Structures are given as C-alpha cells and as structure tokens.
Amino acid sequence: MAGNSFGQLFRITTFGESHGGAVGCVVDGCPPHIAITEEEIQKELDRRKPGQSALTSPRKEADRIHILSGVFEGKTTGTPILLLAHNEDMRPEDYDHLKHLYRPSHADFTYEAKYGIRDPRGSGRASARETLARVAAGAVAQKFLRENLGIEIVSYVEQVGDIVSTSDMNAVTRADVERNIIRCPDERAAKNMIALVEKVREEGDSVGGVIRGVIRGVPKGLGEPVFDKLSADLGKAMLSINAVKGFDIGSGFGGVGMKGSEHNDPFMAKGKTVRTATNYAGGTIGGISSGETIYFRVAFKPVSTIRKKQQTVTKQGVATELEATGRHDPCVLPRAVPIVDAMSALVIMDHYLRHRAQNGS
C-alpha cells in the first residue's frame, strides 16, 4: 500500500497538493457518538494556517474545513469521515521556473527518481500543506481523548537556533503556549527567538529548532510488543512530518551520559497505584505506556526555501544558480506545534482502540 495512510484501527488517508484544488483526509475507524463540529476542527487549523503572524508565510489561506461525511446531527456515526479544505490563494505560476531544475534539500530530485514525474507547484504532495489534513483528523482524536480519557496533549517550541527555553514541561499549559507568536511558554526565550527569526528572514535565510511534545494522562498498557511499540509509532509519526530530522523520547540522547543506577526509574507505591519515582523512560517501558507522562523532542531543520543564491543543476545536469522566490516561512516551528499535537493524538487514539479491541476495556 502506498504511504498515504497512517494508523491501523483509527486510520487516516490524506490527499491533495499544495497548489491543487484541495487538501483533505478520510478518517476511518472513528468511534460513533463523538460530538464534533467544523468550528472545533477549525480552531486547530487556525493554529497551523499560513499568514497568522509576521513570522509565517504570507500566503492567505482560510483553511476552511468542511465535514462531508461521517457526521450526522453533530456526532460521528462510525462511518468514514471526509474532511476537506479548498485551496484559495494559489499561485502555480510562481513555480514555472522550477520545472527543469532541482532545488537544494527539496524533494524535487527524489520524487522524480521514484515516480518519473513531479508536481513543481509548491512541492506538490511533498509540501507541508499536506499537514492540514493531519491537524483536522487530529482534532477529532484530541476531542475523544480529552473528554473520554482525560488525556492532555501540549506541544511547544523549546528551541530555535541556539536559543533554548527553560520552561518546566510538567507545568506548561496550552494557554502558556499560545501567549506569543513563536509558541514558546518561556517569555524571555520567546522574545529572543522572535528576534532571531526576524533577523534570518531579513537576511533571506531560515532557521530550525526543537518542539517538545508532552502527553499527560495516558493510561498504562498502550502499545504493542516489538515492532509496534508506542514509542516507535510516536517516532514514526513525528519523523513523517515535513522538515523533521530527529526524534528522541524520555532522556533520549542525554541518557547516554548517565549510569544505569542513575537512569533506572525506581517503582514505588502511591496508595494502591504503582508509579515510578523518576521518569527518564519518558512514559513508556518496553514500548508500552507506564501511566507516567510521555515526553519527547522533535528536531526540525531550517526551511529549505531561502532567498539566498544557491548552486544546483538542471534536470539535464547543467550547473545553474537558484535564488528562490515565493511565500515561505523563515522558521516552521510555530506552525508545526499543532502538527505535533495532532500526530500525538493520532498515535494515542489508534493504540487506545487497539488496546480496547484486545482487552475489552
């Protein structure tokens, strides 16, 4: 099967291109009786859409979502849900000069190598515009997880360039994240991050960073042994996001500097509940949720489209110079926060339904 679908029981299939007629997804396996409206989904899409601040792409897309099936009288029916948003601010002519050359660090070269054809309009299917569909589907999953299981998903910008937030991930709320346009709850760091992004934008360049993902209230026992570990599926979910180059969970790469006696999470009894005194494991043990908070980091590279001149070649292998134009983010981090939220929700939702199907509860 082509890699346009994600999940097993709660399964989404996304479709559409950056400058095509629309983007959207089909959500299959969604439980019935979830109260959901277009307005609720729209709130999440508004966090992802372009043009929301001076730090994002100026492309003017309302990203207005339409529920075309699977919902009746405001509730899911258990049948496939079709979510669709029409593209409105399309400028495919902006990409005419790119038809015969390969942009550095874009998927032009690899898509052509795979399919023998590519859509040069804003990268086509390889565009981050595809993530609109993920966020729409993730909004449905988040609603179920929040209201039925009390699960809270909070992602935020932890680092931009070499500027690192000192926020306590255990205390950060969604309201804290939304206080500024960079989506960093550390106000001092946020101010410096914004200044850095503005500087690289003026220079015609871009900058990357790290998003911290936090999932609170996940019940113990979610995840499958060996290949479908919860941690592995979270890693796959995050690494499938455009521009992501790294993922670690719990102590991650920082754990290599610790000894086993320091890194092991001791078990303790809290009333009749078994907990761990520390949480270096990041909420999963053996790939199965332990009941502790799940936390991880997602590393995003600098955006590939920049205004600075770069060396490349044409499809015929002739050396040429490229100075990109168009409407692009100097830093993808602020708009990627709701994407990380959505992918977190899709993974947890799928594994919850798989656990329930196996164990009956």
Separation of alpha carbons 345 and 336, rounded Å = 14
84: phi then psi, degrees, rounded to nearest 5: -140, 140
Q: Are 228 and 274 in contact, with CB atoms under 8 Å apart?
A: no
CA 92 to chain centre: 25
Residue 189 amino acid letter:
A
List, in sequence order, the alpha helices (H) in 36-86.
38-48
pLDDT tens digit sequence for 194-219: 999 999 999 999 999 999 999 999 99
Contacting residues for 105 by C-beta, under 8 A, at least 6 apart: 301, 304
Which residue, chain included where needed, has tokens 């299959």? 28
**CB atoms closer than 10 angstroms to residue 109:** 17
Residue spans per domain, the chain:
5-359
Q: Are 142 and 45 in contact, with CB atoms under 8 Å apart?
A: no
Residue 135 amino acid letter:
V
51: left (phi over 0), alpha (psi -120 to 50) or beta: left
- What is the CATH T-level fold of the domain 5-359, as seen in this structure? Chorismate synthase, AroC fold (3.60.150)
| Nearest C-alpha neighbor of 135 from the set 71, 58, 50, 217 | 50
Separation of alpha carbons 281 and 263, rounded Å = 8
**CB atoms closer than 10 angstroms to residue 245:** 11
Separation of alpha carbons 249 and 235, rounded Å = 8
Give the CA angle between residues 208, 214, 219 to the nearest 5°: 150
Separation of alpha carbons 159 and 239, rounded Å = 18
Report CA torsion sign: 183, 184, 185, 191. negative
275: left (phi over 0), alpha (psi -120 to 50) or beta: beta
Report the run of H or E that residue 71 belongs to, with start and end.
strand 71-72
| Nearest C-alpha neighbor of 284 from the set 215, 238, 338, 236 | 215
Contacting residues for 142 by C-beta, under 8 A, at least 6 apart: 44, 153, 341, 342, 345
**CB atoms closer than 10 angstroms to residue 216:** 16
Per-residue pLDDT of the chain (361 residues; tens, 9 = 90+): 578 999 999 999 999 988 888 999 999 999 999 999 999 999 999 999 887 777 877 667 788 999 999 999 999 999 999 999 998 866 666 666 777 888 888 888 998 999 998 887 777 788 889 999 999 999 999 999 999 999 999 999 999 999 999 999 999 999 999 999 999 999 999 999 999 999 999 999 999 999 999 999 999 999 999 999 999 999 999 999 999 999 999 999 999 999 999 999 999 998 889 999 999 999 999 999 999 999 999 999 999 888 888 898 888 888 988 876 666 789 999 999 999 999 999 999 999 999 999 998 7
